[in-house]
Amino acid sequence: MVVLISQPKFQRIALLAAGCVLVTYFLLRTDRVPYQTTWGYVHTSFDWAKRQPRYPIVESSMTKLPEGTPRDLPLIQHVFTQDELNESHNKTQADRRDAIRDAAIKTWNAYTEYAWGRDQVQPQSLRGIDTFNGWGATLVDSLDTLWIMGLKKEFKQAVRMVAKIDWAKTDSRDCSLFETTIRYLGGLLSAYDLSGEKVLLKKAAELGEMLYAAFDTPNNLPANAFNFRAVHEGLLYASKRESTAAVGTLSMEFTRLSQLTGDPKFFNVIDNIKKHFERTQDTTKLPGMWPMYIDLHNNFITEDNAFSLGAMSDSAYEYLSKMYTLLGGLDEAYKRLHTKAMSTIKSHLLFRPMLPDAYPASPPDILFSGTVLSNGKLIELLPDVSHLGCFAGGMFALGGKLFHDEDHVRIGERLARGCAWAYDAFPTGVMPEISAVVPCKQTAELSQCEWNETLWREKGPSGADAVKLPKPFTVMRDKQYLLRPEAIESLFVLYRITGKADLLDLAWRMWQAVKAATETKFAFSAIVDVNADGFTTKIDAMESYWLAETLKYFYLIFSDPGLISLDEFVFNTEAHPFKLPKAAHGKGR
């Protein structure tokens, strides 16, 4: 029997079938992250927002986020022509990018198999350990890396776990306000900015309420050693000896939280810190900079005499220009703070190393940043080379573009190339944590000087020990490489700003050396001695920043420049990109 179907009914059936196919396709896609409403969300067992502070800040006195239309700031990224893109971002760069992605997958697989939910995995013993309160530092720190690399299935897996984190449950007596802010809070906010997953913002807001309690001190300056018992008893006090980095590296994360939640209290406590930095900047023993340690307990006293861009100081300076962009250029104080600090750093901390005669024709044009000891009158430069300080190349270049100072862009490039040169100087192709060199005499131009073998031997170890060190290094205070990101961070920033394609090859050579020196069967490991010739002794350690920062910057430098553009995002010190105000970067002025 023949059944006749009317044309309209047939069309309805066909449309229904096509709709079913499309629904099935979207449900089964592995690269799609469904915007679920719960993700199995579990609220933190203690509601930090309802905690009664001992030293409350009156809401009516709070400083709110700057109002007004964001300024039309200068473009940061180089405008790549199609020819430049065709020449630089060809199959070679795609292959390099994929190699980094493979390393990230290997790292993530080791974490999920052997340390799921823990803070980090030990790459040799393959055990999970908790170093940051057991809330899953690697899990949260890696969220945006997974998203950026297109690992959406892994991202979904991570979000489901993050949705269940209870910030009130930990085996630790306290936590670091600084580390928790840059890794956990920064990771959540960035992943939300990229994916739009609301559960991430909910978890960030919960955590923000907890961290806000660190400011419940008599002077409302933060207690970096966030002791849980003390905070519940209202007995927190700001430290009499706190690192400048710890107090200065909260501003971006707390500001972004205020921007996203509309709650001004997070920004208010940051603005208070900024005012103390303003008040003291010209009165330290090296005006323009702040010492490595500050007395927060006693009215932000800055009497210490050591000044550096390395440990204890680094990201406090990094955040000055970045806060200016995050606020859309609406707070001129951050521009003044940055400009003064960079002027002092250029005059007193930057130096050019004395280079051996191996470069007679064209010695590399490189700089390093050292440590200064000052009593207010006598200033002594210690020519240390710190891996942590390698971020300074990107800092100078970003500030130079933002504030129309091409000299600072050039300084940034010389600093970035200096760290790349330091990598090449050692047998492993990787630079140590802390070393020292013989500096050239400081001049306004930071110019090159002739090699002096006698002076090098006088400054460095004598006899056979001196032969073991590559020239012009005089000592290695810490021989380790801890999988740090600062050198590749600056190369990434300088490539995006200048468009110089040779920086891609420098980055690839750096990656090949790092991979060869650190790779294990299941992951990657810190190493004991970068000056080892041949086999490297591994340390059973792989911090969360390996995936959150180091691999992310390696991936991004080999990716299309439009991916996480410096005109659309600003990175926190843990390499978490935050969205900028819509009008933040335009044609510039």
Instruction: Answer for the pair 522, 110: CB distance below 8 angstroms, yes or no.
Output: yes
Instruction: Answer for the pair 216, 231: CB distance below 8 angstroms, yes or no.
Output: yes
Q: Alpha-carbon distance 180 to 235, whole Å? A: 20
Half-sphere exposure of 95 (CA within 13 A, CB side): 5
406-425 and 502-518 helices cross at what angle (nearest 10)?
40
CB burial string 81-103: b at 16+ within 10 A, e below = eeeeeeebbeeebeebbebbbeb
Q: Alpha-carbon distance 453 to 399, whole Å? A: 37
Radius of gyration of the chain (CA): 25
Q: Which of 523, 491, 484, 533 is nearest to 509 (CA)?
A: 491
Neighbours of 566 (CB within 10 A): 24
Q: Alpha-carbon distance 221 to 284, whole Å? A: 19
Q: Which amino acid is at 190?
A: S
Neighbours of 36 (CB within 10 A): 15
Tell how far CA 126 is from the center of its chain.
26
Q: Which helix (H) or strand (E) holds 323?
A: helix 314-326
Instruction: Answer for the pair 508, 500: CB distance below 8 angstroms, yes or no.
Output: no
Tell how far CA 157 is from the center of its chain.
24
| Residues with catalytic function | 179, 314, 433, 486
Tell how far CA 495 is from the center of its chain.
17
Q: Which amino acid is at 469?
A: L
Residue 353 bridge partners (DSSP): 439
Q: Alpha-carbon distance 99 to 31, whole Å? A: 20
249 annotated ligand-binding residue: no
Residue 585 bridge partners (DSSP): 73
DSSP states of 495-528:
HHHH--THHHHHHHHHHHHHHHHHB-SSSB--BS
The angle formed by the CA atoms of residues 304, 309 and 313, to the nearest 5 degrees, is 55
Q: Alpha-carbon distance 469 to 476, whole Å? A: 8
Half-sphere exposure of 316 (CA within 13 A, CB side): 29
Pairing of strands 293-294, 242-243: antiparallel
380 Cβ contact list (under 8 Å, min separation 6): 372, 373, 374
Q: Which amino acid is at 177?
A: L
Instruction: Answer for the pair 188, 162: CB distance below 8 angstroms, yes or no.
Output: yes
As annotated, the binding site for Ca(2+) includes 573
